Amino acid sequence: MPKKGITGHDEWVLTEALATALVALEQLAPKHQPRAHMEDIRKMLSNGKEPATVSLHLAQAKCRLFPDLDPLEIYREYGIGEEYG
């Protein structure tokens, strides 16, 4: 069975990369945030996905970037209940 794309899971890799990039860019001081690019990343990340799925990817990315923060607080920040924590 031939794999789709380059890795066989390209969409997953790109989604994770986009979510991580967006969360990282949000940490910059507002005057240094590339707003237009961030909106483009948000559009690409959301394309064809349910809003809850996007929120989950963003929360997971923030948990990876900030392992010392409380994961449940991060999930709540993104509107996700404790069932995902």
16: CB partners within 8 A, 6+ apart: 57, 60, 61
List per-residue pLDDT tens for the chain, 85 residues long.
667 789 999 999 999 999 999 999 999 999 999 999 999 999 999 999 999 999 999 999 999 999 999 999 999 999 998 554 4
What residues make up the domain containing 77?
18-27+41-84
Number of domains in the chain: 1
Does residue 72 belong to any structural domain of this protein?
Answer: yes
Does residue 76 belong to any structural domain of this protein?
Answer: yes
pTM of the model: 0.86
Does residue 12 belong to any structural domain of this protein?
Answer: no
How high is the pLDDT of residue 1?
61
Does residue 53 belong to any structural domain of this protein?
Answer: yes
Does residue 58 belong to any structural domain of this protein?
Answer: yes
Does residue 2 belong to any structural domain of this protein?
Answer: no
The Cα 60–Cα 40 span in angstroms is: 20
How high is the pLDDT of residue 74?
97
Say if CB 16 and CB 61 are below 8 A apart: yes
Does residue 33 belong to any structural domain of this protein?
Answer: no
How high is the pLDDT of residue 15?
96
